[in-house]
Amino acid sequence: MVVLENLEQFKTLYRDGRKWNRCVEAIENIGNIRDGVYHSIGDSLAYMIEDGVAKNSEHFIGNRRYFDVHYYLEGQETIEANHKQQLDIVMPYQDETDREYLAGSGTLQTVGQGQVVILDNNNAYRFIGDKRVRKVVLKVTIEDGYFLNK
């Protein structure tokens, strides 16, 4: 898990590559979208605004084809993350959902307004919180701008 202090830091560190530029394009478009509805840019990125109380997860969630980028607009929540190899599989990977569920414990990090979090495929994560949070959630393909199966 990578935690950046603000969007400018994200733009500076991840300025090269189509998928990173598309992340910025999506974030800069949030004034034009409705909350809770996924939108896409090309075939490599889907994004939406989540608004509400953080969804507490019993199990860690792991992905293989997509990784998550979260940009926090308001509020804060805690993310617990760990390397998948350090966790126990509860539900094996399902290609249809691009998810696997794992159990164990990890490192806690509280994040909030203005910060950008990158949750890569080597890690699994879960959210802990009881207060309202508003954030842009981006699902980014691990391939460099395209799906291999298309």
Q: What is the pTM of this model?
A: 0.90
**CA gap 107, 116 in Å, rounded:** 17
The confidence score (pLDDT) of residue 105 equals 97
For the chain, give the mean pLDDT: 91
Q: Which tokens in the block code for residue 98?
A: 């691009």
Which amino acid, 20?
A: W
Residue 145: pLDDT band with limits 50, 70, 90: very low
* pLDDT value for 16: 83
- Choices 2.130.10.30, 1.10.10.10, 3.40.640.10, 2.60.120.370: CATH for 2-141: 2.60.120.370
Mean pLDDT within 51-72: 92
pLDDT at residue 15, as a whole number: 84
Torsion angles phi and psi, residue 27, rounded to 5: -60, -40
Read out DSSP for the chain? -EEESSHHHHHHHT-SSHHHHHHHHHHHTGGGS-TT--EEETTTEEEEEEEEE----SSEEE-SSEEEEEEEEEEEEEEEEEEGGGSEEEEEEETTTTEEEEES--EEEEEETT-EEEE-TTEEEEEE-SSEEEEEEEEEESSSSS-TT-
Q: Which residues contact 127 (CB under 8 A, 6 or more apart)?
A: 54, 55, 56, 57, 77, 78, 79, 80
Taking 90 as the threshold, does the pLDDT of residue 143 lie above it? no
* Lowest mean pLDDT, pick from 18-22, 71-75, 101-105, 108-112: 18-22
Q: What is the pLDDT of residues 72-93, one digit of tens each?
A: 999 999 999 999 999 999 999 9
Domain ranges of the chain: 2-141
pLDDT band, residue 36 (cuts 50/70/90): very high
Q: Which amino acid appears at position 16 of this protein?
A: D
